[in-house]
Structure 1
Amino acid sequence: MTDSSTQAALGRRLMARLDEAARHSQPGPGVTRLFCSDEHRAVLELIADWMRQAGLSPELDASGNLVGRNARAARGERTLILGSHQDTVTEGGKYDGMLGVALPLQALQALKEAGTELLYGVEVVAFGDEEGTRFQSTLIGSRALAGTFDPASLEARDAEGVTLGEALEAFGGNPQAIPQVARRPESVFGFVEVHIEQGPVLEQRDQAVGIVTALTGIERHRLSLRGKAGHAGTTPMAGRRDALVGAAEMVVEADRALNATPDLVGVVGKLDVRPNAVNVIPAEVNFTLELRSPSADVREKGRREILEACQRIARTRGLELSSEPTYGAEAVACAEWLIEALEGACRACDEPTQRLFSGAGHDGLAMHDLTDIGMLFVRCKEGLSHHPDEAISEEDAGRATRVLMRFLSDLGSAPETRDRD
């Protein structure tokens, strides 16, 4: 079989696997698969089978991650961790997260079938929760591996009032044993994630893959705005304390500040209105504010400007406003040696070596606390993500798999311990 036919076969098989995983979704457009849900449970059965085909032994850990280990990792040899998250946003796409689970498993299976033995430990992790869609508490699984999991997260509740701890226990995890999930830094020599770019750069440059240099910093806040309910037909417009009107003005002000600040992006992504009735003045609105920038100073300036504007709006409209941070992660750099190793694999596969910055957060934000991180981006159509129309091509799937196979085989043995920045 020629290299081109092998690459085509890899692409077809990977796309078929991703299609199969996408069927484990709540009804509706796109893919909706939440942490500790029935869909999560079902997709792990599929992933566990992929792990076995790749020569790995699967195991559900205490934090809800599915971890597949090769024999060397199981014996405690120094290990490279690969993987990404299985969960999605509501009505998301097939590839965000799941590509980084399916592709390394396929690469490992292809190397195994070719008789290539890797002289180091390998783990592939299907992280349980990265998006935070269900509990608004992200990076649960990767923080567990990194040893930075906050037990207070177990008290977070979903829309039905179920706590994260309760959901995890019902799923088969063990909230009390999460501290034991943490890896010893000396046992791991790196973490590498494959992910769709979620942006337009690779498509604009007509390149299948790119090498990430750093991951953006992210912070999230929950704002609660309280006014006063009343009959929508009998209460005069003047003097109304309409929480939704105030929230709408705040959303517009946030958008203005974000557009006026270089290197800062953000979104008000979720609003909950009470009592949410057609003929009642809204008494309460809870909404989220997310800010992203590689610069902590830029985020701080933007946050201060937006929150001060929201307080002015609340005072003007006679509303009560409170805010609290719900999540924060600083920008982190990818390790230069992993960047160079991925570049070498790209060159060996006749792929351009494009370096680019990630404007999205990933499990690497947490894994950086444990070990060196690296990341390979794959081109996605129109840079679209978190959307049912999210798409990659079969050809790019095959090309990215070949690059990762070359990267894994070229490592030889576990690199010596490196001093981290």
Structure 2
Amino acid sequence: MQNILSFLTNYDLGSVISLIQATQEAAGVEILAAKSLFTANNVWMMLCIALVFIMHLGFASVEAGFTQAKNTVNILFKNTLTPVIGMVTYAAWGFALMYPGEFGGLIGFSSENWSTIWLAPGTADVSNGYAEGGYTFWTDFLYQAMFAATCATIVSGAVAERMKLGAYLTFTLFFVSIVYPIIGSWKWGGGFLDEMGFVDFAGSTLVHSVGGWGALVGIWLLGPRLGKYNNGKSKDFAGSSVPLATIGVFLLWLGWFGFNGGSVLSADPGMVSLVLVTTTLGACGGAIGGHLGGKIIMKRMDFGMVLNGVLAGLVGVTAGADIITPLEALFIGFIAGVLVVISVVSIDRYKLDDCVGAVSVHLTCGIWGTLATGIFGEGASFLTQLYGVLICGAAAVAGSFIIFKVLQLTMGLRVSEEHEIEGLDSHEHGIRGYTILVED
């Protein structure tokens, strides 16, 4: 009280009023700054959503380019419906499964998230009090839905050219809506792996390895394409378009800036710029590793290995893009590029027919990237990373096997020999992806 009286004694009323106004203006500036930061964060996250979305076009282009022309429409059909199924089922229950809130660390379900989406959208938190001012509830949901759809797309290319369309779409429905969100909740939803200190910044394991395990189970149960392995030799089937595959890889590289950059979960300038640098150098290292690996192991300038090397490097740095240095990112990407070549050759020797190298890119390099984070990443433990890889792998294999096996015993997985030989486009879709018109 004495301080107040002293203040009023020494200063006239005008000074007091001026001080009050200045205080109010400062408070207003602070509120405006907070709102501006929140808007910037949310806009960046929405841009990243668009970048991750464009990755589906990248996957479609890569898969269509690397597979035979007679199956192009089938590939594009799958890659169009995969994100549709992924986002709808993620809205239906996947988001609530993956982010259950308070739960035992294994399986949970957030009725609040579910009801907000379907029953009371007006209750969604769109203030800067949500996610520490990084983004709104709706931005959160849509960004995570894009990741879910990406996971299923990995399987599409591996099982191409001989799997029934209905069986693939049914697999996608259950894989994206149940297997992926439950495994994802163990880390990103605050589950037991998160409590153990497992590190997976943007999904080398939770997205890429999980999808890669699903792809591996799929090609194992399906068997190779007709004529792929004869007399102990592997036959290469000519892809429909190398330029299209190249465009697809560059679209995926572009989308990865949103995939990793958005995983910062804000527009923090320092962290976002570091993540984009490590992401880029990881891709560059992968391209170099794929080139040299192809030259040494396959004795040729294999462009396909360079393209897969880019993707391998991106997958490799995704687990620890925020806690590794640019030099480490280059090295991790380089090793991933070499590994993808070794993996492609090794898988082929076991007569596991992966049309586009999806298992090698996403599973092999996803495992490497997760373990490399335990070696190089600040604050990460190698043993914890290894444990996370094994647990997520076991769950993904079990879930994928159950879904594929049930489909195999009911509707069947594989198309007829006639359809496979003549092409899925003509028999399942009635049109071809490439049509040459000859004038009379």
Shorter-chain TM band: under 0.3
| Larger strand fraction of residues | 1
Q: TM-score, normalised by structure 2?
A: 0.24
Higher radius of gyration, 1 or 2? 2
| Larger helix fraction of residues | 2
